[in-house]
Amino acid sequence: MHETQTFPATPEQLREIRGFIWRCATRDSFSSVVGDLLIAVTEASANAVLHAGSPIVRVSWNPQGDRVEVTVEDEGVFAARVGAPELDGVGHRGIQLMAATMDEVTIAQGSVDRPGTGVRLVKHKAGRLS
């Protein structure tokens, strides 16, 4: 069942976002991949909360047979950052974690002229397809 929830863009809401994904995944028979979904959605949501300057984060769950599409959207501006996690010890692994756990990752970058970044995450029940 397709479902969308909007959350305030605060660090405290990351727990609520994870709870939303957990409930949807277990309800719609995606329990076998819920760990990967939680990692990727948390990373996308944390990026929106910490970097976008948006008041909200909108998370949509859309199962389609043996796959689910989750979108994480904000009303902010995508801030391209090249970090060196081994040097500064401050994260910078979110996009790599999303790519490692999902079958598809697409990022539509919001700009000053067109605010609103969207991250589309697709996961198959059977895991990554060849």
Structural domain that includes position 41: 3-124
Task: Give the Cα separation of 59 and 74 in Å (integer).
Answer: 9
Residue 55, domain member (yes or no): yes
Task: Give the Cα separation of 46 and 14 in Å (integer).
Answer: 7
Question: Where do runs of H (alpha helix) occur along 1-130?
Answer: 14-27, 34-51, 85-88, 94-101
Residue 130, domain member (yes or no): no
Residue 98, domain member (yes or no): yes
Read off the CATH number of the domain in which 24 is found: 3.30.565.10
Helix (H, G, I), strand (E, B) or coil at 39: helix
Report the pLDDT averaged over residues 21-29: 97
Question: Which residues have C-beta within 8 Å of that of residue 48, sequence separation ≥ 6?
Answer: 9, 54, 57, 72, 73, 74, 76, 117, 119
User: Are the beta carbons of 122 and 102 closer than 8 angstroms?
Assistant: yes
Number of domains in the chain: 1
Residue 105, domain member (yes or no): yes
Report pTM.
0.85
Report the pLDDT averaged over residues 25-29: 96
Residue 12, domain member (yes or no): yes
Report the pLDDT averaged over residues 89-93: 56
Residue 129, domain member (yes or no): no
Tokens of residue 71, six digits: 């979108």
Task: Give the Cα separation of 7 and 23 in Å (integer).
Answer: 16
When pLDDT is cut at 50, 70 and 90, the band that residue 130 belongs to is very low
Question: Which residues have C-beta within 8 Å of that of residue 90, sequence separation ≥ 6?
Answer: 83
Report the pLDDT averaged over residues 91-103: 83
Average pLDDT, the chain: 87
